[in-house]
Amino acid sequence: MLCTGAVKVTPAHSHADFELSQRHVLPLIHIFDDDGRLINVPQSFLVIPQIIYIIIIIVIIVIIF
Protein backbone atom coordinates (compact mmCIF):
# COMPACT_ATOMS: atom_id res chain seq x y z
CA MET A 1 0.00 0.00 0.00
CA LEU A 2 1.32 3.41 -1.01
CA CYS A 3 0.43 6.29 1.31
CA THR A 4 1.16 9.98 0.83
CA GLY A 5 0.69 11.12 4.41
CA ALA A 6 -1.51 13.97 3.17
CA VAL A 7 -4.53 14.84 5.28
CA LYS A 8 -7.37 17.31 4.93
CA VAL A 9 -8.30 19.92 7.50
CA THR A 10 -11.85 21.27 7.44
CA PRO A 11 -12.15 23.80 10.27
CA ALA A 12 -15.82 24.51 9.58
CA HIS A 13 -16.83 20.85 9.84
CA SER A 14 -14.93 19.52 12.82
CA HIS A 15 -14.16 20.96 16.24
CA ALA A 16 -10.81 19.14 16.28
CA ASP A 17 -9.94 20.58 12.84
CA PHE A 18 -11.01 24.04 13.99
CA GLU A 19 -8.66 23.83 16.99
CA LEU A 20 -5.86 22.61 14.71
CA SER A 21 -6.43 25.52 12.34
CA GLN A 22 -6.31 27.98 15.24
CA ARG A 23 -3.11 26.44 16.59
CA HIS A 24 -1.38 26.73 13.20
CA VAL A 25 -3.00 30.07 12.23
CA LEU A 26 -4.63 28.64 9.11
CA PRO A 27 -7.05 30.93 7.28
CA LEU A 28 -10.79 30.22 7.40
CA ILE A 29 -12.10 30.23 3.85
CA HIS A 30 -15.70 31.32 3.44
CA ILE A 31 -17.42 29.92 0.36
CA PHE A 32 -20.99 31.14 0.96
CA ASP A 33 -22.36 34.68 1.30
CA ASP A 34 -25.06 35.70 3.79
CA ASP A 35 -27.77 34.56 1.34
CA GLY A 36 -26.28 31.06 1.03
CA ARG A 37 -24.87 31.62 -2.46
CA LEU A 38 -21.38 30.53 -3.47
CA ILE A 39 -18.80 33.30 -3.60
CA ASN A 40 -15.57 33.47 -5.62
CA VAL A 41 -17.11 31.20 -8.25
CA PRO A 42 -14.99 30.78 -11.40
CA GLN A 43 -16.53 32.41 -14.49
CA SER A 44 -16.93 29.05 -16.23
CA PHE A 45 -19.27 27.86 -13.46
CA LEU A 46 -21.54 30.90 -13.58
CA VAL A 47 -23.31 29.59 -16.69
CA ILE A 48 -24.25 26.27 -15.07
CA PRO A 49 -27.93 26.07 -14.04
CA GLN A 50 -28.69 25.75 -10.31
CA ILE A 51 -29.85 22.12 -10.64
CA ILE A 52 -26.39 21.14 -11.86
CA TYR A 53 -24.87 22.66 -8.70
CA ILE A 54 -27.21 20.56 -6.59
CA ILE A 55 -26.31 17.39 -8.49
CA ILE A 56 -22.59 18.12 -8.16
CA ILE A 57 -22.92 18.68 -4.40
CA ILE A 58 -24.90 15.45 -3.99
CA VAL A 59 -22.28 13.50 -5.94
CA ILE A 60 -19.47 14.96 -3.82
CA ILE A 61 -21.30 14.10 -0.61
CA VAL A 62 -21.90 10.53 -1.80
CA ILE A 63 -18.23 10.14 -2.72
CA ILE A 64 -17.04 11.51 0.65
CA PHE A 65 -19.37 9.39 2.75
What does the H/E/C string look like for the chain? Answer: CCCCCCCCCCCCCCHHHHHHHHHCCCCCCCCECCCCCECCCCHHHCCCCHHHHHHHHHHHHHHHC
* Residue 24, in any domain of the structure: yes
Query: Is this structure's pTM higher than 0.75?
Result: no
* Residue 3, in any domain of the structure: no
* Residue 8, in any domain of the structure: no
Overall number of domains in the chain: 1
Q: Which residues contact 26 (CB under 8 A, 6 or more apart)?
A: 9, 11, 20
Range of the domain at 50: 15-64
Q: How does residue 1 score in pLDDT terms, banded at 50, 70 and 90? A: low
pLDDT digits (tens, 9 = 90+) for 29-48: 888 889 888 888 887 777 77
* Residue 9, in any domain of the structure: no
pLDDT digits (tens, 9 = 90+) for 49-61: 778 888 888 999 8
